[in-house]
A and B are shown apart, each in its own frame.
Chain A
Amino acid sequence: MSDTPSSSPCVDREEIEKIAELARIRIAADQSDEVASRITRILGMFDTLQAADTEGVAPMANPLDATQALRPDTVTEGNRRDDFQAIAPAVENGLYLVPKVIE
């Protein structure tokens, strides 16, 4: 088990900005304190969970414990580029345009 955060985690402005960067969401500077306090309030709900004894319980991702079915390797999709690019914000020569990617 990794480190368990202390109860009632408090998320500060700096941490919110780090998370917002990971999520690629810009938060206006004058709002980050309010966002941080609301999120701290939400994280506060998680105390009861932190206290629960889950030792030895297998994590459950699917409520039915179902397993994956496999698809035969056949090509079923044709070229629908025109349909898809008709709703795209910026395309040229069949390519989606984005600001320059730097490697």
Chain B
Amino acid sequence: MQFETVIGLEVHLQLATQSKIFSGSATTFGAEPNTQASAVDLAMPGMLPVLNERAVRYAVMFGLGIGADIGRRSVFDRKNYFYPDLPKGYQISQFSDPIVGRGTFEIHLEDGSTREIGITRAHLEEDAGKSLHEDFQGASGIDLNRAGTPLLEIVTEPDIRSAEEAVAYLKALHSLVTYLGISDGNMAEGSMRCDINISLRAAGSDTLGTRAEIKNVNSFRFVEKAIQHEIERQSDILEDGGKVVQETRLYDADRNETRPMRSKEVANDYRYFPEPDLLPVVLDEAFIEELRASLPELPREKRARFVSDYGLGDYDAGVLAASRALADYFEAVASEAGDAKIAANWVQVELLGRLNRDERDITDCPVPAAQLAQLIQRILDNSISGKIAKQVFEAMWNGEGDADSIIAAKGLQQVSDSGELEAMVEAVIADNPGQVEQYRAADEGKRKKLVGFFVGQVMKVSKGQANPQMVNQLLAEKLG
């Protein structure tokens, strides 16, 4: 049987505020346990929440960034359940009147196609603390530093059809929120966590199947694997004539499998009702327009500009515009080097390749943009060949200096002295009489192929430093 996969994602995005959403505690990651938990965060008797203005601004910026409806009047609700990492016994969230309403999100897939993913809503809420299970015989330890960190929960329509689309959506979302500067997007530190709602249905059917929810997946790769595993699990069940159970599951990265969560009740009754300690948040037009005017150039705008201004292909433009830091880097290299296409190629192939290999981010790239631009200039002015340039780049990466000093120190300057080159060409011709004979006997078409041998030999003799255009020209003359 052919199945279609139906996926909706809920992303919990930590907003990059200094203080918590309802208290004046710091939100710094990695502090000693419970040193960033105030009386409000600990739900001490009589403590009350007061809403952080920046959290509101960031949520509205996100809404504007996806062209969504902004809730002119949004309301906080209490979501009631008992859990030790939830000190009040309820989470302050938004239920019926979220701050961000419907919007859409465009994703680009590897095959060059694009898809629109509907955003149902995005709402503000507070994060919970953490339960630590190690080191306390029979007990768990509760750290409430994270409790009250502002979250924006971004919910999609069930518009996603594959693991690839899910990852593309998450990457695009990551790109948008880091462009906006509303989140550091640091997945390893939990700044972006994903719940996956996934179900299968017979291909062509328009009714939804029973879904499973996979909680708290915190990397692009795990999202991909969890979805792939869950598709397999559910299709096995359905093919055997079984029924998928609606439940919450956890993805276990070590075993690459999902398993049911034991702690969540099957039918939790959250008893949402308006939080009486907070009042409705009413936003006026001036507030919204001020934020709209302050928005930076967003990924899709930048991507379009890279295509129109630099003549890049849409895919390449998308790769370079994916993060603000990378886009800024590329633009700095392009403007200093004076050739955007070569700059794009170098950033995309050499630089990103090297970063990936070392698992580093563009923000801690050891080669500054100005240095890469200088290297590209040396290719453009024929001081070095593209091949030598890669060697110079490797040295730059290892901190051996800038392009010019490495070229000088290693004597990598391209040989463009016609006398010197002529001598090399003549020596190669003299050393390879067989090939010369073959070449001379061949027709025009074959000659083009055979000349490569001689070029290669000259390059070898010159240790790669011979100017390839001049070598070609000399060979054409000498071989006749």
Contacts and interface: CB of A to CB of B under 8 A. Distances in A.
B461 interface: no
A88 B131 CA distance: 17
A94 B133 contact: no
Contacts of A76: 19, 24
Given A66-B279, A76-B19, A95-B34, A61 B139 contact: no
B44 interface: yes
A73 B19 contact: yes
Chain A interface extent, by class = 35 or more
A67 interface: yes
Contacts of A81: 32, 34-35, 37
A44 B263 CA distance: 36
A67 B141 contact: no
Contacts of B25: 75, 77
Contacts of B144: 96
B36 interface: yes
A84 B279 contact: no
Interface string A62-84: 10001111111111110111001
Interface residues of A, dominant DSSP: loop
B279 A72 contact: no
B416 interface: no
| Interface of chain B: mostly helix, strand, loop or mixed | loop
Nearest to A24: B82
B39 interface: yes
Contact of B44 (A68, A84, A97): A84
A29 to B, nearest CB: 22
Interface string B138-149: 111111100000
A80 B141 contact: no
Contact of A22 (B135, B269, B281): B269
Contacts of A101: 84, 131, 133, 140, 263
A90 B136 CA distance: 12
A51 to B, nearest CB: 23
A62 B73 CA distance: 14
A100 B139 contact: yes
B34 A94 contact: yes
B133 A70 contact: no
A80 B38 CA distance: 7
A71 B53 contact: yes
A73 B75 CA distance: 20
A102 B17 contact: no
Interface in B440-470: none
B23 interface: yes
A77 to B, nearest CB: 4
Interface in B15-36: 17-19, 23-26, 32-36
A10 B51 CA distance: 41
A34 interface: no
A66 B19 CA distance: 25
B26 A75 contact: yes
B26 A73 contact: no
A85 interface: yes
A77 B279 CA distance: 23
Contacts of A69: 50-51, 279
A68 B278 CA distance: 6
B139 A75 contact: no
Contact of A97 (B35, B53, B139): B139
A85 B84 contact: no
B423 interface: no
B274 interface: yes
B450 to A, nearest CB: 69
A92 B84 CA distance: 15
A68 B139 contact: no
B35 A92 contact: no
A96 B141 contact: yes
Contacts of A77: 19, 23-26, 38, 40
A84 B34 CA distance: 9
B19 A102 contact: no
B54 interface: yes
Given A61-B276, A99-B138, A103-B263, A22 B54 contact: no
Interface in B350-368: none
Interface of A: 22, 24, 59, 61-62, 66-77, 79-81, 84-85, 90, 92-103
Given A68-B278, A81-B34, A101-B140, 19 more contacts: A24-B82, A61-B276, A61-B280, A69-B50, A69-B51, A71-B52, A75-B18, A75-B24, A77-B25, A77-B38, A84-B37, A92-B141, A93-B135, A96-B34, A96-B141, A97-B140, A99-B139, A99-B140, A100-B139
